[in-house]
Amino acid sequence: KFLSLYDALELQWPTFVTLPPIMGPDGKKKLSKRDGAKDLLDYRNDGYLSEAMANFLALIGWNPGTDQEIFTIEELIANFSIKKIQRSGGAFNEEKLRWVNKKHLEQLSNREREQYFEKNLTIPDHVQQQPQFSKERLKRLYVVIFERIQVAKDASYFQLWEGEYNWAFGAIDYNTELLKWKNDTTIEDVLPRLKELRNLLNDADFSNVENVKDCIWRYAEKVGKGEVLWPLRVALTGRERSPDPFTCAYVLGKEETLSRIEAACAKIKQ
């Protein structure tokens, strides 16, 4: 059929080279929808980078002859050789594709990572309308989420807007008793620790999670990790379960972190 088109257009035949077929995960038969094959655009909608997809597909049926697995488009062009095309088909391994995508994501600049999330994640209107919503806090949240995903669709696992991170932009509400650690006799036992955390964090560098952690870790080891970190988690998120309190503080930023600790202190005094 291809040659007939060239003849009809009175064009000279090119030399055709056929790559081996893409096999299913078991490597025994050609990949099909029964094996979970998706439309290429579905992968794009899931947040796979075009460079990562090209990199992954290039290595199915072609071997560069080295241990290198991550290639830019320019590197693929420079290293490609027809002689290195394999005869047998290669298996489509989506876990490998996810890994390749993560490697390409890691090569993005900070601004490109922000653009990646802006392109692939939709922020619901009701979230943007929250009084505490800010683009700066959203950028900090992206930094945290980036470390936990291989492709943008993974972010939905964390239920950014309604689940694990809903404390980031919305008001929090919790029973004061939740601030107590298991060794506390009364809720008043928590107050001195929260005040000390407020003092320590007032001088903290909030530019990254590690700086926040370094600021209070020595105090937590001295007094008790549970005694310090549990009430801080609750004060910042209003929840028993959340990312670690250092991450929560980083996402919220210094001003909001201090404000929520002060609010927790006020609840205890009521």
Q: What is the pLDDT of residues 104-138, one digit of tens each?
A: 999 999 899 999 998 988 887 877 888 888 888 88
Residue 109: count of CB within 10 angstroms of its CB = 8
| pTM, 2 dp | 0.80
In this predicted model, what pLDDT tens digit does every residue of 25-55 receive, in sequence order? Answer: 777 788 777 766 688 899 999 999 999 999 9
**Percent of the chain at pLDDT above 90?**
57
DSSP structure class, residue 150 = S
User: What pLDDT, on a 0 to 100 scale, did the predictor assign at position 49?
Assistant: 96
